Structure 1
Amino acid sequence: MQPTTAPIAATIRTHLACDIDELRTLFLFEHLSDEQLLWLCGHGHVEFIEPGVLYREGDPATDFYVMLSGSVALYRRVGADDVEVARTGQVGVYAGAWAAYLGDRVPQTYSQTLRVLEPSRYYVLAAADFAAFMNDWFPMAVHLLEGLFFGQQSSQAAIGQRERLLALGSLSAGLTHELNNPAAAATRATATLRERVAGMRHKLAMIASGPYDRDQLAQIIHLQEKAVAALKRARAADGKRTALEVSDLEDELADWMTDHGISGGWELASAFVAADLGTAWLDMVAAYVGDEVLEGAVRWLSYTLETESLMNEVEDATARISSLVGAAKQYSQIGRAPDQTVDVHELLDSTITMLERQLGDGITVVRAYDRSLPPIHVFAAELNQVWTNLIDNAAQAMDGHGTLTLTTRRVDDWLEVEVADTGPGIPDAVVGRIFEPFFTTKPVGSGTGLGLDISWRIVVGKHHGDLSVTSEPGDTRFRVRLPYTSTEGPTP
C-alpha cells in the first residue's frame, strides 16, 4: 500500500455510444436479456476517461461504474494521506454507488477514491437507476443482500458489545476491589477516631480539674500546634523508614517516658515517631510545662497526634475513592459527548487507573508522555477501549512481571501512542494475523480474539488512523496513530 499526499488531478471525460453486445460480454450482465441490456444502454452511457481522479472518498455517490477497458487504483483516506488499497486492469470490475439499492439506510457516499491510471472506458449508470433496476429485476437477490449486509452489521455490533461487556465485567471487579480498600480503611479510621475523641474529652475533663495553671495550659496548646505542624511536615516529606528503624525510635521514646515516670510509654511512642518528634522534642516539652503536669501533657499531645493521623487516613481514603470515581467517569465518558476534543494523556491515565489491579505490583508502568501535544478530536470512550485492549494484552503477555511503557509523540500530522511491553513477544508466524477477528494466541477460554479486531476498527475505521505492531522477545510495541488534520474527522 503506497500513500500519497499530493493532490491528484481530476479526469477528463467524453461520452461514447453504448453497445449492448459489449455489455453482454461482461460477467455482471452476461445473463441479461436484450430488453434489459437495451434498458441499461438507454438509461446509462459509456464514457472515455483520461487518467486522473474519477471520484473521491466521502463525496456523494452519484454513479455506478463498470470498467470496459483500462486500469484503475483504489485509495482509502488515512489521516492526511490517500493510501492505495487495490490496483487492477480486469475488465468488468465495478465501483462507485454499488450500495444505492440500500437507499437512505446507509450513507450514500463513495467509500474510496478511484484513480484512473490510463485512458479507459466505463459504462456509467446513475445511482437512482442502479437502485431501480436492482429492486425491479432482482428483488430476491436484493433481499438476500440486505439480509447479509445488515446481518453482518448487527453481528459485528453484538460481538463488539459482548467484548465490551466482558471487559467491563473485569474492570468492574477490579474497581470494586480498589474502592473497597480505601472505604474499609476510612471506616476503621473513623471508628478509632471516635474512641480517641472520647478519650480526649476525658483528658480535657481531667485537665480542667487538675493542677494546671493558665500559663501551663497555654504552653500545652502551643506545643499541641507545634506537634500538629511537625506531623504535617513529616507527612509531606514522606520519609520512608524501615520497620527496624521505627522500632528503635519507639523504644528510645518509651525509655524516655519510663525515665520521666510516664507509664505505658510504648503505647504513646508511635504517635511521636510518626511526627518525627524524638527525645529532644520531649525534653523541650518537659522544660515548658514542668514535671508535675508532664505526663498529662505528653498524653494529651499523643492523643492530638494520633487523632490528626487518623483524620489524615480518612482524608487519604476518601481522596483515593474520589480519584477512582473520577477515573471511572473519565474512562466511561459518562455525561460527555461521544466525540470531543481531549487530552489523550487523560484517557491513558484513567485507563491505567482502571487496570491497576490487573497490572499488579510486579509490572512497572513508565509514562513517557510528551505533555506539549495539543488536544485531539476523537471518540474518547471508544479510544479508552483500545487502550484497555492493548494494556491488558501487554499485562497478560508479561504474566505479572515486567515493564509497561506508554509513549506519546507527534509524527508529522499524527498523534502517536505507543504501548510497549517486555513480554516474550509475538511469534513471527502469527504476528501478521493478530488483527484478524477471532484470532487469538491465548489459551482456550481466555480470550475471544476480538479485542485487536475491535481496536483496529475503532482506530482505522472510525478515526481514519493506523494501528501497527512490531515484536521481538522482550520488546513488543503497538503503535496507534491518530490524525490531527483528518478532512472528515471521526466517523460515527
Structure 2
Amino acid sequence: MVDQLVCDPHELRTLFLFERLTDDQLDWLCARGRVEHRPAGVVFTQGEPAEQLFVLLDGTIALSQRVGGDDVETTRTDQRGAYAGAWAAYLRDSDSRGYNATLRAVAPSRFFVLAAADFTELMTEWFPMALHLLEGLFYGGQKTRRVVGERERLLALGSLTAGLTHELNNPAAAAVRATSSLRERLAGMRHKLALIAGGAWDRKQLESLIQLQERAVEHVAKAPDLGPLETSDREDQVADWLGDHDIGGGYDLAPTLVQAGLDVDWLDRDLAATTGPDMLEGAVRWLNYTLETELLMDEIEDAATRISTLVTAAKQYSQMDRAPQQVLDVHELLSSTLVMLSKKLAGVRVVKDYDKTLPPIPVYGAELNQVWTNLIDNAVQAMDGAGTLTIRTERYGEDMVQVTIADTGPGIAPEAEGRIFEPFFTTKSVGEGTGLGLDISWRIVVNKHHGDIAVESEPGDTRFRVRLPLHEALADADPVAGERTP
C-alpha cells in the first residue's frame, strides 16, 4: 500500500539534488510532486514506461537488471537523495523509453516522486544550458561510439581481408603453377603415347603396361609422409636401381617415383617382373609421366580445397548466408575466426581445448565472431606474435557456455584491469587502437546476448572469460550504439 505524505520544501533542500534551488523552486517541486511512503517491494519494473522520477528520502533501495531469466542486483543504497526512474525524460526521444532497471524498496521507504513531464519542464526552464550540454553529451557520445565503432569494424575487416587475400593467394598460385606443369606433362604423354603406338610392343605388352600404370597410380593415394632424410635415401636407392638397369636420367626420375610411394622393392616386384628388358626404359618413362600427372592433379585438388575452405570460413565468419539470429555451434564460429586470423597466428602455438558435447546456442554469429576477433587479436598483440594461445570451451552451471581465451603475454597492469572494458580506454600506443574493441565486445556479449565477459590477468597468464546462455531470447539493441546498463 502506498501512503501519500506532506511534501516539505525544507526537507527537499537537505538533498544534494535540490540544495541550491530557490524557495520558489522548492515550492514548485512540492506543488508538482508528492511524497510517498512505500512498503518493502517492487516500486517499478524494468521495461515499463518511464513515467516518474523517484528520489529517496529515507529507507533502502536496490536496482536490478534483467539478465536472461534472472534479475541481477546492480546497486543497493540507503543514501538520501539517490534517484532512479525517468531521470532521462528530458531527452527528445524519451517518449519511447522504459525504465532501464527494476527498483525495489528493500525496507519501507519514503520517496519524493515527480512526473516525467514535470521533470522535463524543470530541466528545460531552470537549466536550459545544462540541458543542452547533457543532450550534447548523450547524443554526441552515442554518435561518437557509433562512428568509432564502425571504424573499429572497418580496421578489423581491413586486417582480416589482407590476411585472407594472403591466404588465398598461396593456394591460387600453387594451382596456377601445377596447371602449367600439368599441361607440359600431358603434352609429353601424348608424345610418348605416339612413340609407344609406333613401337614394337604387342597388344599383350600394352595391356600389361596399362595394368602396371593403374597399380602405380593406386600407390599415390597411399604414399607415406617421409621426412627429408628418408626421402633423400629412397631417391638415391631408386636412382641407383635405375642406373643398374641402364635407364638414363635416374636422378631426375627418382623424386617423382618416391613421391608417388614407389620404392626399389616395387620396382623389382611389379615393374621389372611385368616388363622385359627391351621395354623397361619406355615403361619407366611412361609411368613417370603418369605419376607426375597424378601428383599435379592432387596438388590442384589440394589448392582448390584450401581455397574452398577459406571461402567457407569467411562466409561462416561473416554469417553472410544466414539470418542475424541463429542457433550455431560455438566451435564453428571459433574455427572460422582462427582461419581468418591465421596469418597473424603464424608464430603462435594454438591450443584448442573444446568440449564437443556442448549443444548449439542462440547467437548473433557475425557479431560474436567480432568478439572472438577482438580477444584473439589482443592476445596475439600482447604476446608480440609469439607464445601460446589457449581457447577452452566448457559448460558453466546449468544454463551457460563458457569460452576462455588465454595468452602467455606479460599481463594487464592492475590499475588498468578494472578499466579494460571502458570505452576509449586503451593500453596500446597512440594510433594503434581506438579503445573500443573490448567495449564493443562487452556490449555484444552483455547487452545483446545477455551473457557476461570478465578478465583475470597476471604475468604469463591472461584469461578473458565469455559466458553465453544456452537458451536465450536475444535482444534487439544495437550493441555499439546502445547505452551500457549499470
TM-score (norm 2): 0.90
Percent identity of equivalent pairs: 63
- Structure 1 window deviating more from structure 2 (249-258 vs 35-44): it is 35-44
Which amino acid letter does the alignment assign opposite residue 122 of structure 1?
A: F
Say if 2:415 is the partner of 1:402. no
Map Cα deviations across residues 371-428 of structure 1 (whole Å, 9 max, x no partner): 2212222222222121112111222222333221110111122211001122233333
Give the counterpart letter for 1:197 in structure 2: L
CA deviations on 1:23-74 (whole Å, 9 max, x unpaired) are 4554445566777666655554332111122223333323221222222122
CA distance, structure 2, for counterparts of residue 128 and residue 66 of structure 1: 16
Say whether 1:65 aligns with 2:54. yes
C-alpha spacing 1:487/1:300, structure 2 compared with 1 (3 Å): closer
Say if 2:334 is the partner of 1:345: no
> How far, CA to CA, are the matches of 1:386 and 1:91 in structure 2?
40
| Shift in CA distance, 257/382, structure 1 to aligned 2, threshold 3 Å | same
User: Any gaps of 5 or more consecutive residues in structure 2?
Assistant: 479-486
How do 1:367-386 residues align onto structure 2 when only pairs under 5 Å count? Answer: 367-386=352-371
| SS of residue paired to 1:442 | coil
- Given the alignment, which residue of 87, 100, 108 partners 2:97? 108
d(CA) in 1 for partners of 2:419 and 2:117?
40
Following superposition, the deviation at residue 188 of structure 1 comes to: 0.6
* Match among 330, 344, 356 for residue 358 of structure 1: 344
Per mean C-alpha deviation after superposition, the further-off stretch among 335-344 and 475-484 is 335-344
Q: Deviation of residue 472 (structure 1)?
A: 2.4
TM-superposed CA distance for 1:15, in Å, is 3.3
Q: Which AA in structure 1 matches 2:36?
A: E
Determine the C-alpha separation between the residues in 2 that align with 1:106 and 1:202.
84
- Structure 2 counterpart of 1:462: 448
Task: Tell me the distance in 2 between the aligned counterparts of 1:246 and 1:380.
Answer: 45
Establish whether residue 208 from structure 1 lines up as the match of residue 193 from structure 2.
no
8 Å contact from structure 2 (residues 260, 295) kept in 1: no
Any idea what SS the aligned residue of 2:50 has? coil
Report the 3-state secondary structure (helix = DSSP H, G, I; strand = E; otherwise coil) of the residue aligned with 2:90.
helix
Q: What is the CA-CA distance between 1:91 and the residue it aligns to?
A: 2.5
Task: Please state how far the C-alpha of 1:106 moved relative to its aligned partner.
Answer: 7.8
Counterpart mapping for 1:15-54 below 5 A: 15-20=4-9, 22-23=11-12, 25-29=14-18, 40-41=29-30, 43-54=32-43
Q: Is the 8 A contact 1:49 1:119 kept in 2?
A: yes
Q: Select 1:168's aligned residue among 150, 157, 177.
A: 157
Q: Which runs of 5+ in 1 are unaligned?
A: 1-11
The answer for the alignment partner of 1:217 in structure 2 is: 206
Q: CA deviation at 1:449?
A: 3.2
3-state SS of paired residue (2:418): helix
**Size of the alignment, in residue pairs?**
476
In structure 2, C-alpha distance between the alignment counterparts of 1:303 and 1:90, rounded to whole Å? 88
Partner of residue 309 from structure 2, selected from 323, 334, 352? 323
The amino acid that maps onto 2:194 is: A
Is the contact made by 2:168 and 2:310 (CA closer than 8 Å) also made in structure 1? yes
User: 2:468 is aligned with what amino acid?
Assistant: L
Q: Which residue in the other structure is 2:482 paired with?
A: none
2:183 is the counterpart of 1:185: no
Residue 390 of structure 1 corresponds to 375
1:293 is aligned to 2:263: no
Secondary structure at the counterpart of residue 378 of structure 1: strand
C-alpha distance in structure 2 between counterparts of 1:447 and 1:476, whole Å: 19
Query: CA 1:219/1:128 → structure 2, altered by over 3 Å: closer, same or farther?
Result: farther
- Matched residue SS, 2:247: coil
Task: Decide whether the 8 Å contact of 1:408 with 1:416 is kept in 2.
Answer: yes
The amino acid that maps onto 2:160 is: L
* Counterpart secondary structure, 2:462: strand
- Partners in 1 of 2:285 and 2:465 — Cα distance? 60
- Deviation readout 1:262-283 (Å, 9 max, x if unpaired): 2112222222211211122222
| Contact preservation (8 Å) 2:63, 2:74 | yes
Residue 255 of structure 2 is matched in structure 1 by: 270
Q: Is the 8 A contact 2:448 2:474 kept in 1?
A: no
Secondary structure at the aligned position of 1:482 is classed as strand
Which of 124, 147, 150 aligns to 2:139? It is: 150
Distance in structure 2 (CA, Å) of the matches to 1:21 and 1:126: 20
CA distance in 2, matches of 1:487, 1:132: 37
What's the offset of the Cα at 1:370? 1.1
Go from structure 1 to structure 2 and tell me whether the alpha carbon gap of 1:106 and 1:233 turns closer, same or farther (over 3 Å shift): farther
- Match in the other structure for 2:148: 159
- Name the CA shift for 1:488/1:205 in 2 (closer, same or farther; >3 Å): closer
> Secondary structure of 1:95's match?
strand
Matched, 1:430 2:419: no
Counterpart among 83, 86, 95 of residue 94 in structure 1: 83
1:260 pairs with one of 245, 257, 276: 245
1:247 pairs, out of 228, 232, 235, with 232
Shift, 1:313, TM fit: 0.7
Between 85-94 and 261-270, the greater mean CA deviation after superposition = 85-94
Tell me, in whole angstroms, the C-alpha distance in 1 between the residues paired with 2:127 and 2:463: 49
Map 1:66-85 to 2 at 5 A.
Answer: 66-85=55-74
Counterpart residue identity of residue 99, structure 2: Y
Report the TM-score, using the length of structure 1 for normalisation: 0.89
Given that 1:379 and 1:490 are in contact with CA atoms closer than 8 Å, whether structure 2 keeps it comes out as: no
Q: Greater CA deviation, 326-335 or 71-80?
A: 71-80
1:302 aligns with 2:288: yes
TM-superposed CA distance for 1:471, in Å, is: 2.1
Could you tell me how far apart the structure 2 residues matched to 1:448 and 1:151 are?
Answer: 17
Counterparts in 2 of 1:415 and 1:47: CA distance versus 1, 3 Å: same
Please report how far the alpha carbon of residue 86 of structure 1 lies from its aligned counterpart in structure 2 after TM superposition: 2.3
More divergent stretch after superposition (321-330 vs 282-291)? 282-291
User: Structure 1 residues 348 and 258, CA, compared in 2 at 3 Å: closer, same or farther?
Assistant: same
Cα distance in 1 for partners of 2:95, 2:446 equals 19
2:221 to 232, 254, 279: 232
- 1:228 to 1:427, Cα distance in 2 relative to 1, 3 A: same
Aligned twin of 1:8: none
Take 2:272 and 2:89, find their aligned partners in 1: how far apart are those partners? 93
Structure 1: how far apart are the matches of 2:473 and 2:298? 52
Alpha-carbon distance in structure 2 between the residues aligned to 1:364 and 1:52: 54
Instruction: Decide whether the 8 Å contact of 1:79 with 1:482 is kept in 2.
Output: no
Do the aligned partners of residues 334 and 215 (structure 1) sit closer, same or farther apart at CA in structure 2, a change above 3 Å counting? same
Give the C-alpha shift of residue 485 in structure 1: 4.6
Q: Which amino acid aligns with 1:314?
A: I
**Match of 2:412, SS?**
coil
Cα distance change on mapping 1:411 and 1:195 into 2, 3 Å: same
Q: Deviations over 1:426-465 (max 9, x none)?
A: 3334333333334333344433333223322322233232
